[in-house]
């Protein structure tokens, strides 16, 4: 297990423009609205991330902010990826699918239908461009991959690649409910779309003292890693927090590597702010990806107070 994969590995494995742009020293801190991942789920088989031609699917983006879950309008465009391994995400050819809508919370869900086989040809992936606005409707230019918000403000842009089943069947990795521990205690799953604020009485947020260092432990189930050439698929774990500090953002498991013991990351709880007599709810988000575009999400909470 590598404690922090190099940037080229992250970008190549994830195929996500937002992941590369946010690989920074404090990438583990949610200090602004950010896209953390996009999970593809076939309607006929939600665990499957690779899609067949003419198949309906759901794309769920995990978008988080430092305060209340953001309310966003969104627009997307799907097309064949431009040529070149490091080509900038944009639709250089025709748009093969599009949609728009609004969301209220951290999980932004879009309906997608893959093109017919005659349109896809021998393509192994679709490129999905997403644009999100906190104010007004989104106008997305897929050819240049730019966007504007009708009521001002800067649009948030993110892209991901949708793997097609012609290049192999792939399923989303899962983070089990009991897979994340704080020290020796299991951190129970928390609800998505919960405002950050006072936390006394929150049943899924264990108490942590301010400024204390605790060890986060994430168990990876080797049986859930699908077989690929050279062993089992590679996994990359990303973890971010709304307050406090983490030792690092990324950890990885190589394809030929046996599943390690739990991945460990040091968490330092934040110091209290004036007036926080009811404690501070701190949210921890985990994204588990394989190197073929499949993904799983998890969220946990802690209550920080003296």
Here the tokens at position 237 are 């774990």
Topology of the domain covering 7-167: Immunoglobulin-like (2.60.40)
Here the tokens at position 226 are 């699908």
Q: What pLDDT, on a 0 to 100 scale, did the predictor assign at position 21? A: 45
Residues 10 and 237: beta-carbon distance below 8 Å: no
Q: What pLDDT, on a 0 to 100 scale, did the predictor assign at position 177? A: 94
**Which ranges of the chain would DSSP assign to H, the alpha helix?**
7-14, 17-21, 117-120
Determine phi and psi for 194, rounding to 5 degrees: -115, 130
Q: What pLDDT, on a 0 to 100 scale, did the predictor assign at position 109? A: 95
The residue written with tokens 């949609």 in the block is 99
CA atoms of 54 and 45, how far apart (whole Å): 14
Q: What pLDDT, on a 0 to 100 scale, did the predictor assign at position 260? A: 64
Q: How far is CA 28 from CA 4, 68, 105, 181, in A?
A: 12, 18, 20, 18
Q: What pLDDT, on a 0 to 100 scale, did the predictor assign at position 1? A: 53
Q: What pLDDT, on a 0 to 100 scale, did the predictor assign at position 258? A: 73
Instruction: Provide the b/e sequence for 270-298 (b: ≥16 CB within 10 Å).
Output: bebeeebeebbbbbbbbbbbbbbbbbbbb
Q: What is the pLDDT along the chain (306 residues), one digit of tens a residue?
A: 555 554 444 444 444 444 444 456 789 999 999 999 999 999 999 999 999 999 999 999 999 988 876 789 999 999 999 987 788 999 999 999 999 999 988 999 999 999 999 999 999 999 999 999 999 999 999 999 999 999 999 999 999 999 999 888 999 999 999 999 999 999 999 887 766 666 765 667 888 899 999 999 999 887 778 877 777 888 999 999 999 999 999 998 887 777 667 899 999 999 877 766 678 889 999 999 998 889 999 999 998 888
Q: What pLDDT, on a 0 to 100 scale, did the predictor assign at position 15? A: 47
CA atoms of 259 and 181, how far apart (whole Å): 17
Q: What pLDDT, on a 0 to 100 scale, did the predictor assign at position 12? A: 47
What residues does CATH 2.60.40.10 cover in the chain? 7-167
DSSP string, 111-161: EEEPPPHHHHTT--EEEEEEEEESSS-EEEETTTTEEEETTSSPPEEEEEE
Determine phi and psi for 8, rounding to 5 degrees: -60, -35
Topology of the domain covering 180-304: Immunoglobulin-like (2.60.40)
């Amino acid at each position: 297990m590598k404690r922090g994969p190099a940037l080229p590995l992250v970008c190549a494995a994830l195929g996500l423009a937002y992941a590369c742009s946010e690989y920074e020293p404090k990438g583990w801190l949610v200090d602004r609205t950010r896209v953390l991942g996009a999970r593809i789920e076939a309607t006929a088989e939600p665990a499957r991330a690779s899609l067949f031609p003419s198949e309906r699917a759901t794309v769920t983006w995990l978008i988080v902010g430092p305060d209340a879950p953001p309310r966003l309008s969104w627009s997307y465009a799907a097309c064949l990826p431009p040529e070149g391994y490091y080509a900038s995400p944009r639709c250089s050819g025709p748009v093969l699918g599009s949609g728009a809508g609004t969301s209220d919370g951290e999980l932004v869900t879009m309906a997608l239908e893959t093109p017919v086989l005659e349109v896809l040809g021998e393509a192994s992936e679709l490129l999905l461009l997403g644009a999100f606005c906190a104010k007004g409707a989104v106008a997305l230019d897929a050819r240049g991959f730019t966007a504007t918000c009708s009521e001002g403000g800067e649009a948030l842009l993110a892209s991901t690649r949708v793997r097609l089943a012609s290049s192999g069947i792939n399923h989303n990795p899962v983070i089990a409910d009991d897979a994340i521990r704080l020290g020796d205690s299991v951190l129970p799953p928390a609800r998505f779309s919960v405002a950050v604020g006072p936390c006394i009485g929150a049943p899924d947020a264990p108490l942590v003292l301010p400024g204390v260092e605790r060890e986060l432990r994430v168990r990876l189930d080797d049986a859930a890693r699908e077989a690929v050439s050279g062993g089992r698929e590679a996994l990359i774990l990303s973890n971010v927090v709304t307050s406090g500090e983490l030792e690092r953002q990324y950890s990885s498991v190589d394809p030929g590597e046996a599943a390690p013991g739990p991945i460990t990351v040091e968490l330092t709880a934040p110091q209290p702010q004036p007036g926080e007599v009811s404690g501070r709810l701190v949210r921890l988000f985990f994204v588990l990806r394989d190197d073929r575009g499949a993904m799983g999400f998890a969220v946990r909470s802690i209550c920080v107070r003296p």
